[in-house]
Amino acid sequence: MKNGLLTIKRLKKYFPYKKGLFVKAVDGVDLQIAEGKILGLVGESGSGKSTIAYTTVGMYSATEGEMVFKGQDINKLAVDRSLDMKGEIQIVFQDPGSSLNPRRNIKQILEVPLKLHSRREKSGFPSTTKEILEEVGLAQGYLTKSPRSLGGGERQLIAIARSLATKPSLIILDEPTSALDVSIQAKVINRLLKLQETFNLSYLFITHDLSLMRNVADRVAIMYLGKLCEEADTAEFFQRPLHPYTRMLLSSIPVATEEEEKLKPTKIKSTGEIPSSVYVPSGCSFHLRCPEKMDICPVVDPEMKLISTGHYVRCHAVKPEDEVNQ
């Protein structure tokens, strides 16, 4: 792996729960995002994907681990980061209802970050509220509107515009479209992809929607109970899903066409519940639901292994290609 824009190593984030017990939201995660690339971080509720996002922007402090952005250590809270660093890493939240201040108009909302970061020179980025609106494809008339009068999709576009105003290199997208209808989601996603190209942005795209990532991400990583299960380039990931959890997820997705049906792993069916992240099962945390469980699984937690170029899997049942060939 080349040196990325953002490198996260052995990241852990525990929240105190009761006496002596912790919610292990993130439990030893390595991630790397290359410049100008989109990493899709996929997981179900309680997998810790949002915790990673919030730790990266400095809303939480990490319990353990390293976070390096453009060669600088960013393992600290947002208040301790420099203004430039705050501008470089931005976040777009999930809920269009609460992401904009209802008592200010769009112009006021966009002006604040724009003025704050006006001194930092970065070529190509828009420098006026009008230009920013243009970049997200909204008409000038929106400047005087109140967030209340906008639909969910438009609000998310404004939230994206606001994050663009600080001239970032990395935007963390925390399920930006999961509250939207598909037709509106399509618009927002297309806009995001266009912006990514124009400004050579990197995205850490947090979502539970694998089908969406198939069409958006350059690389996909799957999380389950605070740990990564599998990570690979998108095409490889969907052609050769190896981890049993990945295959269970894929087989569970309700799809809209026959062609997709053929891509779904058929031999695996979803079973069981997602355990709580306080009482994480021993060994491999997925063993309770895994159809390929072996004797070793409840005892030893597997390590992340390189299976083929760029394809990492954390499972006892999956062997690296070279070993198989021997």
Q: Count the site residues for another protein by CB under 8 A.
A: 71
User: According to CB under 8 A, which one of 1, 118, 200, 255 is a site residue for another protein?
Assistant: 255
By CB under 8 A, residue 187 contacts another protein:
yes
Q: Which residues pair with 221 in a beta bridge?
A: 41, 231
Q: Is 35 in the site for another protein (CB under 8 A)?
A: no
Interacting span for another protein (CB under 8 A) from 123-131, 263-271, 277-285, 291-299:
263-271
Establish if 141 lies at the interface with another protein (CB under 8 A): no
Do residues 166 and 189 make contact, with C-beta atoms less than 8 angstroms apart? no
Residues in region 37-96 near another protein by CB under 8 A:
44-45, 57-59, 78, 83, 86-87, 90-91, 93-95
Q: Interface with another protein by CB under 8 A: which range of 124-132, 267-275, 303-311, 313-321? A: 267-275
* Out of 170, 189, 228, 284, the residue judged to bind another protein by CB under 8 A: 189
Query: Considering the complex, what minimum distance in angstroms separates the CB of residue 324 from another protein?
Result: 26
Q: How far is the CB of 48 from another protein (least distance, A)?
A: 14
How far is it, in rounded angstroms, from Cα 85 to Cα 109? Answer: 20
- Helix crossing, 106-116 with 152-164: angle to 10°? 20
How many residues would you count in the chain? 326
Per DSSP bridges, beta strands 6-16 and 64-69 are antiparallel
CB of 68 or CB of 186, closer to another protein: 186
Q: Please report, to the nearest 10 degrees, the dihedral formed by the alpha carbons of residues 171, 174, 176, 182 taken in order.
A: 130
Query: Based on CB atoms, which residue is closest to another protein, 64 or 236?
Result: 236
3-class DSSP state of 174? strand
Map the footprint of another protein across residues 96-125, applying CB under 8 A: 98-104, 109, 112-113, 116-117
Nearer to another protein, 100 or 318 (CB): 100
Closer residue to another protein, CB minimum distance, 63 or 105 = 105
When asked if residue 260 is in the footprint of another protein (CB under 8 A), the reply is yes
Residue indicated by tokens 């958006």: 216
Letter for the amino acid at 302? Answer: P
Residues 191-250 that bind another protein (CB under 8 A): 208-212, 214-216, 234-235, 238, 248-250
Copy the structure tokens of residue 320. 């690296």
- Could you give the CA distance from residue 246 to residue 163 in angstroms, rounded to a whole number? 32
Which window, 31-39, 161-169, 309-317, 318-326, contacts another protein (CB under 8 A)?
161-169
Q: Is residue 10 a contact partner of residue 30, using CB atoms and an 8 Å limit?
A: yes
The backbone region for 110, taken as left when phi is positive above 0, alpha when psi lies in -120 to 50, beta otherwise, is alpha
- Burial level of 232, CB count in 10 A (0-12/13-18/19+)? buried
Pick from 55, 185, 196, 285 the residue near another protein by CB under 8 A.
185
Q: Which one, of 310, 144, 300, lies nearest residue 231 by Cα?
A: 310
In what side-by-side order are the strands of the sheet with 305-308?
89-92, 170-174, 202-207, 38-43, 219-224, 227-233, 311-313, 305-308
Asked whether position 271 contacts another protein by CB under 8 A, the answer is yes
Identify which of residues 3 and 118 has a Cβ nearer to another protein in the complex: 118
122 versus 264: smaller Cβ distance to another protein: 264
The two tokens of residue 229 are: 């299960």
Contact string (CB under 8 A) for another protein, positions 286-325, x = contact: ----------------------------------------
